[in-house]
Amino acid sequence: MIRKLIRYFKNKPGKVSIYESKILNELMPRSHYAYCCLNAARQASKLGFKKIAVIEFGCAGGAGLIDLEKICSEISQLTNIEFEIYGFDSGKGLPEPQDYKDLPYQWRKGFFKMNQFALENRLTKAKIIYGDVKHTVLNFFKDYKPAVIGCVFHDLDYYSSTKASFEIFKNNENFFLPRSFHYFDDIIGDEIVLYTKWTGERLAIKEFNEELKNKKFDKCYHLITKNETKTWYHQIRILHLFDHDKYCNFISTENQQIPI
């Protein structure tokens, strides 16, 4: 009986594993947000950070920020990593599409307006940075002095806005985790939107990878090769910053010896 009890407690999943299982099986709202936040927190902990920041580009009505506050609170309790939350949004809805790359057959000016007063009355932690993203990202680190960025949620819809937001990643690598987690909302679509690598968020990602030698977005291969995949598994990207001071720091399992 004692041996059975020992085996039970030895193999019983911890709270983090249970939470991760809920995420991967979509047993909670915005599992894709929770996946990025949890794994960013894990990496941060192994690298010695106590706090990380998360960003949502394109907040629409603000439901994502509200959910993020709850998710970050839960993950803080599991990992002892603190979170800062920032949202970037004009508050006025989508601007006028610039050309075909912004998919004007899918989006219109004014979509996704925000009720700023109602939203801010519901938020307790997140900070919203209002204005055109091509301007607001430029002084973000100087003005807000955020914790190291662990994950980013991209929902600006347009190619032009997404490309402008990517200027934030051209700052010092050490403002970010060496491998940060990113969710792109608008890269799957349906029979109407028909995303391609020549328009929208996919084009912004493609051009970023072509332009910058030592900063690259890539897929989350361990997710998309699972036997049963969820749609959002294909929307996760990892931003690798090869020049980051901590990129090569060992964070894996210490004992990897395989017995004969």
pLDDT value at position 15? 85
pLDDT value at position 233? 96
Helices (H), 47-124: 63-79, 116-122
> Pairing between strand 176-184 and 236-241?
antiparallel
Contact 168, 57 (CB under 8 A): no
pLDDT value at position 55? 98
**What are the sequence ranges of the domains in the chain?**
7-241
Contact 126, 65 (CB under 8 A): yes
pLDDT value at position 13? 55
pLDDT digits (tens, 9 = 90+) for 160-177: 999 999 999 999 999 999
- Work out whether the CA dihedral 134, 103, 205, 232 comes out positive or negative: positive
Q: Which of 166, 145, 144 is nearest to 154 (CA)?
A: 166
Q: Compute the distance between CA of residue 75 and CA of residue 42 in angstroms, rounded to an integer.
A: 10
> Pairing between strand 236-241 and 215-219?
antiparallel
Under DSSP, the state recorded for 146 is P
pLDDT value at position 14? 83
Sole residue written with tokens 């051009």 = 207
Q: In the structure encoding, which two tokens stand for residue 60, read together?
A: 């629409």
Stretches in the chain below the pLDDT threshold 70: 1-13
Contact 164, 123 (CB under 8 A): no
pLDDT value at position 80? 96
Is it true that domain 7-241 has CATH number 3.40.50.720? Answer: no
Q: In the structure encoding, which two tokens stand for residue 179, read together?
A: 């491998």
pLDDT value at position 144? 97
Which of helix, strand or coil describes residue 112? coil
pLDDT value at position 1? 37
Q: Which of 91, 95, 128 is nearest to 110 (CA)?
A: 95
Q: How far apart are the first and last CA of the chain?
A: 31
pLDDT value at position 255? 83
Q: Compute the distance between CA of residue 186 and CA of residue 156 in angstroms, rounded to an integer.
A: 8
